[in-house]
Amino acid sequence: METQLEQIRDLQKKTWNQSSPGWRKWDELTMDFLKPVGDEIIQKLKPQGDNYVLDIAAGTGEPGLTIATMLNNGKVVITDLAEGMLEVARENAVKRGIKNVETIVCDVSELPFQDNMFDVISCRMGFMFFPDMLMAAKEMIRVLKPGGRIAASVWNGSDKNLWFTTAMSSVNRNMTLPPPAPGTPGMFRCAEENLIADLFSKAGFKDISQKNIEGKLNCGTADVYWGFASEVVGPVVNSLSMADDALKQKIKSEVFKTINDTYPDGKVAIDFSANVIYGEK
pLDDT for 232 equals 93
- Pair type for strands 118-124 and 144-155: parallel
Write the DSSP string, the chain: --HHHHHHHHHHHHHHHHHHHHHHHTHHHHHHHHHHHHHHHHHHH---TT-EEEETT-TTTTTHHHHHTT-SS-EEEEEES-HHHHHHHHHHHHHTT--SEEEEE--GGG--S-TT-EEEEEEES-GGG-SSHHHHHHHHHHHEEEEEEEEEEEE--GGG-HHHHHHHHHHHHH--PPPPPTT---TTTT-STTHHHHHHHHHT-EEEEEEEEEEEEEEESHHHHHHHHHHT-HHHHHHHTTS-HHHHHHHHHHHHHHHHHH-TTS-EEEEEEEEEEEEE-
- The per-residue pLDDT for range 163-218, each reduced to its tens digit, is 999 999 999 999 998 877 777 788 999 999 999 999 999 999 999 999 999 999 99
What is the predicted pLDDT for the residue at 1?
60
Q: What is the pLDDT of residue 29?
A: 96
Which pLDDT score, from 0 to 100, does residue 184 have? 79
Pick 1-280's CATH classification: 3.40.50.620, 3.40.50.1000, 3.40.50.150, 3.30.465.10: 3.40.50.150
- pLDDT given at position 13: 77
Classify the phi-psi angles of 121: left when phi > 0, otherwise alpha if psi is within -120 to 50, otherwise beta.
beta
Domains of the chain by residue range: 1-280
> d(Cα 56, Cα 81) in Å, to the nearest integer?
9
What pLDDT does residue 37 have?
98
Tally of CB atoms within 10 A around 46? 11
pLDDT at 27: 95
Q: What is the CA radius of gyration of the chain?
A: 19
Q: pLDDT tens for residues 64-82?
A: 999 999 999 999 999 999 9
Tens place of pLDDT for every residue, the chain, 281 residues?
Answer: 677 777 778 777 787 778 888 889 999 999 999 999 999 999 999 999 999 999 999 999 999 999 999 999 999 999 999 999 999 999 999 999 999 999 999 999 999 999 999 999 999 999 999 999 999 999 999 999 999 999 999 999 999 999 999 999 999 999 998 877 777 788 999 999 999 999 999 999 999 999 999 999 999 999 999 999 999 998 899 899 999 999 999 999 999 999 999 999 989 999 999 999 999 99
Give the pLDDT of residue 16.
Answer: 79
